[in-house]
Structure 1
Amino acid sequence: MTQLSNAPWLQTKAIQRVFDAVEQDGDRAMAVGGAIRNTLLGLPVADVDIATTALPDEVAARGRENGLKVVPTGIDHGTVTLISKGMAYEVTTLRKDVETFGRQARVVFGTSWIDDARRRDFTLNAIYVDRHGEIYDPLGGLEDCLARRVRFIGDPGARIREDYLRILRFFRIHAAYGLGAPDPASLSACIRERDGLRHLSAERIGVEMKKLVGAPLAADCLALMEDSGLLEITTGGISRIADFRALRSLDDVAQETRRPELGFAVLSGFVDEDLDRIADRFRLSNAERRRMHGALAAATDISADSGDPAVYRLLYRHGRESFIDGLLAVWAQARANGNSEHLEPVYLKALELGRSLEIPAFPLKGADLMAAGLPAGPRIGETLKRLEDQWLDSRFSLSRKELLERM
């Protein structure tokens, strides 16, 4: 039988202190969810969630008694965060849905591990592990996880109607952890219930979509969403799946291809108005919005023959981040159109230059020209622009003295 006793995160003193604190007076605690799933799949574990039979107030009290920092993260919903040796662990009391009204399900605390498992979304997220690495798998999640099969717990349609965000979560989890074609019953339910996506808040949709576009199987899942009428509901417009797929074909060349801002810009960014629509629909931050616009602006300026001199100019005009994003967007479009073969070396060299070049400030200001004898007026700006162009053509090599001599 599969055990996780050798999992590094389970062997730490930090988590064992949490188990020591919570498991008193007959109560039990087990890790659950993503940590187990990722460990079984050989993937990194970012955080560990713990389920317990102990009530929230008891978890908090025991944590304090054992010298742990206690944060009442969502104590009304059964969750207390215990911080042990600098690591945060969300400890949640076992729960059972009594009545369901969409996201307003009435929940009661309980002691049944099976009831707790049944209220989770997918079988591969309903696997528990005790402090010794023994696995408890009440719903067949272990087999699904090892097969990389994402499957709803219980009736897929009923689970989706409890919270329509689970449609996006299904595609996102499959894009991140799935293998092969999605589970047919789960996919069919997502398609049948797709109109429920129209009632979700922008923030919740944005969180899922940002995770989805950076996942390994994002292109396949987005294509499936488009074919099923789900993607247009989500983005509110037309998508360029071929360009996005080509972008992700560059994963080994640049890590930026997994950035959600670049993914959205390539997927939906025909013009600036499209990017604003995406930013509004997904409630993106101002920084995320600016990065999308920067990528599109740089991509618009990059031509197929952007050799060394052009790279210097583009880097200076757009900045490193926007230049690299824009270059990758142009590269992806060329690949999608099937005409990138002779351009691959050009794009690769431009990318290497974009990463390595220092971007200095232009060494002249208007005051320098006036000090050198040029009278104030429109000629100052015109001359600065001419000298700046010459400086860019020289690949930043002309010195301040040399530029003044050309004035």
Structure 2
Amino acid sequence: MTSKLDADWLDAPALVAVFDALERDGDTVRAVGGAVRNTLLGLPVSDIDLATTALPEQVVERARAAGLKPVPTGIDHGTVTVVSHGQPFEVTTLREDVETHGRAATVRFGRSWTHDAARRDFTMNALYVDRHGGLHDPLGGLGDLQARRVRFIGDPHQRIREDYLRILRFFRFHAQYGEGSPDVEGLAAAAAEVEGLSLLSAERVGQEMRKLVVAPGALATLQVMARCGILEAVLGETADLATFAALRGFDALAEETRAPALCLAALAGRRDLEGIAGRLRLSNAERERMFSAARVAEDPVARMIVTMTATQEEVAILLEAHGRDAAFDGVLLASARWLSVPERRTLTLLRETPVPEFPLKGRDLLEAGLSAGPDVGVRLERARSAWRDSGFSLGRDALLAEALAPAS
């Protein structure tokens, strides 16, 4: 690592325009946080956050004068989103805490980069870079980043009490960027302050857990959280780390193993999926993915596929019953539960075998002369059963004849 940052994004016209607009009358702008951290680690950069000595009102005025679009997304706390060339940049005036009270804090604007850095969470997030690539490290974050060590700024207990979500961020950042064991002081503080997690909204907890379970070091980090009692406090029950470990052991076979919903389904094991979904306030789509994977994992056909060499006919049966996405997730989850590594051939069959489509509809029976009513559904299901028994080979005419035939 170096004291100068070589980053293509520093030369992007959208960011250069923001620098040009705001760096006036002695004011300075620097990129801070994730963009700097990820660039130094060779990881992708998505959002670019900026810090400035300019006051929020000056940011708005100068951005507008330069033809950029200022949006006062958090102007009372010093944050203005500046849209340049269609790209949003969150620009925050340097701040220092006057008084902290939970997640909120009484702050005042200032011009000290050290004071601004001191109110952030981790040292690796308190690295700044100017428009020329000059790296500014007021609190020694570069050394921690080099060591892949996630370390709280100042007193870990105080940082956590300012926002108890930082307990989960500590573990999530360690899973994403850390190496070895978590920082001892940070870990002790997180364990001591665990009751504060109950004060957080389910949405915020869920957002962190989604990111944590898919991180490269998720398993080792979750194991530490379990030993400290933190994981159970989050999930409301003992996690199934063995199934989770097996699922993430398939990372090289399928990218689906890094889907948050599937990871959480593995952590839940065969226990209360609904409870975890509620505690983490998962979306309807995430809930459905969890429950669908769990249903498939209990399907006897899925069990047969993961414990024996799968046939294309068995795969087709599973695909027809559950759909491709759910079948694929379910086989991965079943494999993890049975500690059986899925064969590449099986996964290929699940991806490539056509999903059988039942060729008969209720209207076909009505057009053939049946009266509308429950009997139509009964006859359709009888025909569908015959179609499945035939290995999906019966065509529409044969199935229509089956449906219209008198019940035996």
TM-score w.r.t. length of structure 1: 0.92
How many equivalent residue pairs? Answer: 397
Change (3 A) 1:17 1:393: farther
Question: In the alignment, is residue 327 of structure 1 matched against residue 331 of structure 2?
Answer: yes
Following superposition, the deviation at residue 371 of structure 1 comes to 4.4
Change (3 A) 1:39 1:370: same
1:350 Cα deviation (Å)?
3.1
Q: Could you say which residue in structure 2 is the equivalent of 1:403?
A: 399
CA–CA separation in structure 1 for the residues paired with 2:367 and 2:45:
61
1:133 corresponding residue in structure 2 = 133
Bigger mean CA offset, 18-27 vs 194-203: 194-203
2:387 corresponds to which of 372, 375, 391: 391
In structure 1, what is the equivalent of residue 293 of structure 2? Answer: 295
Q: CA deviation at 1:264?
A: 1.1
1:281 maps to amino acid:
R
For residue 230 of structure 1, report the CA deviation from its aligned partner.
0.6
The answer for the alignment partner of 1:304 in structure 2 is 303
Deviates more, 1:382-391 or 1:125-134: 382-391
Give, as a single letter, the amino acid of the residue that structure 1 aligns with 2:327: F
Query: Helix, strand or coil for the counterpart of 2:143?
Result: helix
Residue in 1 that maps onto 2:350: 354
Q: Which amino acid aligns with 2:22?
A: V
Q: CA deviation at 1:380?
A: 4.0
**Structure 2: unaligned runs, 5 residues or longer:** 404-408
Show the counterpart of 2:278: 280
Q: Hey, what does 2:112 align to over in structure 1?
A: 112
The 3 A distance-change label for structure 1 pair 357 and 166 is same
Cα deviation digits, residues 311-354 of structure 1 (max 9, x gap): 2122122122211111111111122xxxx26xx33xx3332222
Partner of 1:47: 47
CA distance in 2, matches of 1:387, 1:191: 59
Query: Does the Cα contact within 8 Å between 2:315 and 2:353 map onto a contact in 1?
Result: no
Cα displacement string for residues 90-128 of structure 1 (whole angstroms, at most 9, x for unaligned residues)? 000000001111112111111000000000000000000
Larger deviation, residues 113-122 vs 251-260: 251-260
State yes or no: 1:318 paired with 2:322: yes
For 2:213, the aligned partner's letter is V
Partner Cα separation in structure 1 for residue 366 and residue 396 of structure 2: 14
**Match in the other structure for 1:241:** 241
Q: Aligned-pair RMSD on alpha carbons?
A: 1.9
1:188 corresponds to: 188
Match of 2:147 in 1: 147
> Compared with structure 1, are the counterparts of its residues 203 and 378 closer, same or farther at alpha carbon in structure 2 (3 Å cutoff)?
closer
| Equivalent AA in structure 1 for residue 332 of structure 2 | L
CA contact (8 A) 1:309 1:392 kept: no
Following superposition, the deviation at residue 390 of structure 1 comes to 3.4
What CA distance in whole angstroms lies between the structure 2 residues aligned with 1:196 and 1:370? Answer: 62
One-letter code of the match for 1:25?
D
What amino acid is aligned across from residue 90 of structure 1 in structure 2?
E
- 8 Å Cα contact 2:302-2:331 kept in structure 1: no
**Cα offset, 1:370, TM superposition:** 5.0
SS at match of 1:242: helix
Residue 406 of structure 2: aligned partner: none
CA distance, structure 1, for counterparts of residue 164 and residue 237 of structure 2 = 20
Q: State the Cα distance separating 1:373 from its structure 2 match.
A: 6.2
SS in 2 for 1:353: helix
User: What's the CA shift for 1:84?
Assistant: 1.2
Contact 2:79 2:93 in 1 (8 A): yes
Q: Give how far 1:32 is off.
A: 0.3
The 2-side partners of 1:232 and 1:106 are apart by 33
Q: Is the 8 A contact 1:21 1:62 kept in 2?
A: yes
2:373, 2:25 → 1: CA distance? Answer: 85
Supply the distance in 2 between the matched residues of 1:283 and 1:379 (Cα, whole angstroms).
Answer: 41
User: How far apart are 1:363 and its partner, in Å?
Assistant: 1.0
Shift of 1:231: 0.8
Do the aligned partners of 1:313 and 1:393 also contact (CA within 8 Å) in 2? no
Identity %: 56
- Alpha-carbon shift at residue 396 of structure 1 (Å): 4.0
Q: Counterpart in 1 of 2:219?
A: 219
Q: Which moved more, 1:385-394 or 1:282-291?
A: 385-394
The alpha-carbon deviation at position 167 of structure 1 amounts to 0.6
Query: Secondary structure of 1:250's match?
Result: coil
Task: Tell me if the contact between 1:246 and 1:333 (Cα under 8 Å) persists in the aligned partners.
Answer: yes
Query: For the structure 1 residues 381 and 107, does the alpha-carbon distance in structure 2 shift closer, same or farther, using more than 3 Å as the test?
Result: same
Alignment of 1:160-199 (within 5 A): 160-199=160-199
Cα offset, 1:360, TM superposition: 4.8
Q: Secondary structure at 2:96's aligned position in 1? A: strand
Residue 366, structure 1, aligned to residue 362, structure 2: yes
The separation in 1 between residues aligned to 2:233 and 2:373, in whole angstroms, is 54
Q: Which amino acid aligns with 1:138?
A: P
Which blocks of at least 5 consecutive residues in structure 1 are unaligned?
A: none
1:88 deviates by 1.0
Q: Contact 2:316–2:356 (CA<8 Å) still a contact in 1? A: no
Deviation at 1:365, TM superposition (A): 2.0
User: Any idea what SS the aligned residue of 2:148 has?
Assistant: coil
Aligned-partner Cα distance in 2 for 1:244–1:293: 16
Aligned residues of 1:309 and 1:393 also touching (Cα < 8 A): no
Deviation at 1:403, TM superposition (A): 2.5
User: What SS does the corresponding residue of 2:338 show, helix, strand or coil?
Assistant: helix
Distance in 1 (CA, whole Å) between partners of 2:263 and 2:220 is: 14
Aligned-partner Cα distance in 1 for 2:193–2:222: 17
CA distance in 1, matches of 2:240, 2:229: 14
Query: C-alpha distance in 2, partners of 1:19/1:238?
Result: 50
User: Superposed, which structure 2 residues align to 1:245-264 within 5 Å?
Assistant: 245-264=245-264
| Amino acid of the structure 1 residue aligned with 2:296 | A
Q: SS of the residue aligned with 1:100? A: strand
Give the direction of change, closer, same or farther, for the CA distance of 1:18–1:297 in structure 2 (3 Å limit). Answer: same
